[in-house]
Structure 1
């Protein structure tokens, strides 16, 4: 089935585009790099964002909580992922690793939503309100990680009634088995479309009036 995207009703959700994830020297990049290189992650992210901007599709930045001293220390039950952040200070506030990748930074007028503490970009943030206030019905999810924050945000979007598109080569995970789970096992249970970057760009280009 060919998907269509009304630019006025569509948003690309760019999830966690931090240097620690996406840049050489980032704390998580060495683990992500093999899959990222295999799928052409960075080039595809650049292409998706450029195409969205050119066609009038809204770009929304969906960032994880930037670690600060004291985070999670007094929590009753932080997750294993939050414990890793606590130990390694992933994307620490004020650090280079906690800055957005230089090619994936917001432009004037683009929305950067409140930071999410867990995996879903919707939970305890203003993402749903921002999308609804801009008339968005279709969300296209890109960024990292495919089987954690991307999947959790996509599932939450489906529960809230959005049309969900996953882009299998504009995301990456820490191993090929995690990518397979995200796109072959789990994604088909909740996403209306799972596409490649080329197919998405063709759909965006077809939306030009």
Structure 2
């Protein structure tokens, strides 16, 4: 899929779940994501994209997962497998280091942090769509974790709502290369408007391309 044009006033970087538990050594989920994250050079790519969009005047939105609290999901009729795992592992626990932002990706002045999503889509039961529309956003560049769950679900939902969706294949990770393949080669081509590399998006956001 080809590179699109990204007008700063109507484009946003949407960063899904930039928590220590996913992105930092010592995080609860880091051991499961580490191999793929290091293979794709995830952290350096995320740093480069965040720095570039800030320099380009593109607004950054964060779509954060629900931070676990005692009692979450325990009385639900149908908690999904991920939620059942969170009940056991206490991933993204509120008030704990793992549920805090990775220090390189913490919100800065002007960033928008949406309400926390309970399952996989950053749009479901949150204010993300309202926040994006109130800021005039039509184009989303989506990065973060995990490629085959929250990123996939958030991006697909964005398409359903009428946004132009760009995925960056090496600015995300999953628990295996098979899951990365499923996300980028099987799922994303059915809904994403562009599937790029970090090098592609950095080039597209350079002043000469805008």
TM range (shorter): over 0.9
Deviation at 1:52, TM superposition (A): 0.6
SS at match of 1:103: helix
Between the aligned partners of 1:77 and 1:129, the Cα distance in structure 2 is 27
Q: Is the 8 Å Cα contact of residues 137 and 162 (structure 1) preserved in structure 2?
A: yes
Between the aligned partners of 1:152 and 1:50, the Cα distance in structure 2 is 25
* Matched residue, 2:101: 100
* Matched residue, 2:169: 168
* Matched residue, 1:153: 154
* Matched residue, 1:126: 127
> For residues 163-184 of structure 1, what are the alpha-carbon distances to aligned partners after superposition, in whole Å with 9 as ceiling and x for unaligned?
0000000000000000000100
1:8-47 matches, within 5 Å, as 8-47=9-48
Deviation at 1:208, TM superposition (A): 6.9
Which of structure 1's runs of 4+ aligned residues deviate more than 2 A? 206-209
Q: Is the 8 Å Cα contact of residues 6 and 207 (structure 1) preserved in structure 2?
A: no
* Matched residue, 2:55: 54
> For residues 21-57 of structure 1, what are the alpha-carbon distances to aligned partners after superposition, in whole Å with 9 as ceiling and x for unaligned?
0000001000100000000000000111110100011
Structure 1: runs of 5 or more not aligned: none
Deviation at 1:119, TM superposition (A): 0.1
Deviation at 1:2, TM superposition (A): 3.1
> Structure 2 length normalisation: TM-score?
0.98
Q: Is the 8 Å Cα contact of residues 142 and 151 (structure 2) preserved in structure 1?
A: yes
Between the aligned partners of 1:134 and 1:22, the Cα distance in structure 2 is 28
Number of residue pairs the alignment of both structures matches: 209
Between the aligned partners of 2:192 and 2:118, the Cα distance in structure 1 is 23
Deviation at 1:108, TM superposition (A): 1.1
